[in-house]
Amino acid sequence: MFLIVIIAYLIIGFLEIIPLYKKGDKKELIVYCSLLGIAFTISMLLSFGVDLPSPANGIRYIVELIIGKQ
């Protein structure tokens, strides 16, 4: 399974990174590579069977900070 994840991210990365690099969009390239790296790390952990915590509690906490607890 992890081999499929690696191949998929390589294909997606090359299809998106090369045009950004050729256009000279350095800021977009940095953001895209950062997000792609985070997504790749999470995908690899999931393919190895690692249980990751749900982000729902963190999102709920942030929303309650913004709008107040009800």
Rg from Cα positions in the chain: 17
pLDDT in tens, 10-47: 999 899 899 988 998 889 999 999 999 999 999 999 99
Cα distances (angstroms) measured from residue 37 to each of 45, 55, 69: 12, 18, 34
pLDDT of residue 69 exceeding 90, the answer is: no
Cα distance between residue 21 and residue 29, in whole Å: 7
Report the predicted TM-score, pTM, of the whole model to 2 decimal places.
0.74
Cβ 54 vs Cβ 42: under 8 Å: no
* Residue 70 binned pLDDT confidence (cut-offs 50, 70, 90): low
User: Where do the domains of the chain lie?
Assistant: 2-67
